[in-house]
């Protein structure tokens, strides 16, 4: 389906929980208590995905919070995989539980995994997140062994982990992964920190033989291959170079709201219509068609979203 700015919307991110088993410094360092609502059920997720597929969505990414804390995660992935028209299922995870569940996830239809990883130093990772780096790397390696498309999402923050940028770039030398540097977005706890831009990171690549990948599947990242590296380096430039003109996605929150722009406030409540196919399609069509042209982060330096990131979905 096309929105009113003639962008084809063929990708949806569906958050299935606000809960998380880590306490990342820039996200929710003091923990998070979910609001008083029930998360989407497997059947509700199936109805929403079926309607989205009817409107032309082909790719689904399951997010959170941390989606792998849902006890019914295998049912969720398997149910999405059964929907006609869905060609690709991915998940965004912190990786702590990935090694334990990756084989069953693949059996149920998972094809891609994005792993959020902000340090390769065990002590620092523990300090930043409260988690165990070895478990994350175990899950990453198992995903590669199973042939999944693997991306590592790193948010570089000044005076916190920006001294590891070169180490993350070096990961792509011998691993078939995309390491993507994501510019820190001013939402919630993240407003207390200063991010690093693509232009800052490109200085680390001066003198290297790099080639930009022009056909990147319609995603938001700018991707480069370094000479002699198996993997690739990418950038998601939310704060320095807007990619709104090629945005192809919408988000469904874990409490059943359609959110067409991460940084704008409008939401469409889907829950009253989840069991009414015609009305559900009508609300989704209206929301997608009226998707914002762009966010105003570059001008305002603050997100207009009414939600913290954990309540929106990554």
Annotated binding site for GTP: 13, 61, 92, 151, 249-251
CA distances in angstroms from 53 to 2, 160, 163, 175, 285, listed in the order given:
13, 41, 43, 33, 12
CA distance 184 to 24: 13
Binding site residue list for [4Fe-4S] cluster: 20, 24, 27, 244, 247, 261
- CA distance to 6, 8, 94, 250, per residue, from 85 (Å): 21, 15, 28, 17
Q: What span, in angstroms and rounded, lies between the C-alpha atoms of 232 and 298? A: 27
How would DSSP label each residue in 155-202? --BTTTTGGGHHHHHHHHHHS--EEEEEPPP-SGGGGGS-B--HHHHH
Residues flagged as binding site: 13, 20, 24, 26-27, 61, 65, 92, 116, 151, 185, 244, 247, 249-251, 261
Strand-pair partners of 268: 258
Annotated binding residues for S-adenosyl-L-methionine: 26, 65, 116, 185
State the Cα–Cα distance between residues 42 and 46, nearest whole angstrom. Answer: 6
CB 60 within 8 A of CB 12: yes
C-alpha to C-alpha distance for 122 and 138, rounded to whole angstroms: 13
């Amino acid at each position: 389906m096309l929105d009113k700015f003639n962008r084809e919307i063929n990708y949806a991110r569906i958050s299935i929980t606000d809960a998380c088993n880590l306490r990342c410094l820039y996200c929710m360092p003091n923990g998070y208590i979910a609001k008083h609502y029930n998360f989407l059920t497997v059947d509700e997720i199936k109805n929403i995905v079926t309607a989205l597929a009817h409107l032309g969505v082909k790719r689904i990414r399951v997010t959170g919070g941390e989606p792998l804390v849902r006890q019914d995660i295998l049912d969720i992935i398997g149910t999405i995989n059964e929907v006609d028209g869905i060609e690709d299922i991915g998940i965004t995870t912190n990786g702590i539980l990935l090694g334990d569940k990756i084989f069953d996830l693949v059996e149920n239809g998972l094809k891609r995994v994005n792993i959020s990883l902000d340090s390769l130093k065990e002590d620092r990772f523990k300090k930043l997140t409260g988690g165990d780096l070895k478990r994350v790397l175990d899950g990453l390696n198992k995903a590669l062994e199973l042939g999944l498309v693997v991306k590592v999402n790193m948010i570089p923050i000044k005076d916190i982990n920006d001294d590891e940028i070169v180490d993350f770039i070096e990961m792509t030398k011998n691993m078939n992964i995309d390491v993507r540097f994501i510019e820190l977005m001013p939402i919630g706890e993240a407003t207390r920190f200063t991010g690093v831009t693509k232009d800052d990171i490109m200085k680390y690549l001066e003198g290297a033989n790099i080639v930009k990948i022009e056909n990147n599947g319609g995603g938001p990242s700018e991707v480069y291959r370094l000479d002699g590296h198996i993997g690739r380096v990418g950038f998601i430039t939310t704060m320095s170079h807007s990619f709104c003109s090629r945005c192809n996605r919408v988000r469904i929150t874990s409490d059943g709201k359609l959110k067409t722009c991460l940084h704008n406030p409008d939401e469409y409540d889907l829950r009253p219509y989840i069991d009414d196919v015609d009305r559900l399609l009508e609300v989704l069509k209206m929301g997608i068609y009226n998707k914002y042209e762009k966010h105003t982060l570059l001008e305002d330096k603050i997100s207009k979203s009414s939600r913290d990131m954990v309540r929106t979905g990554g």
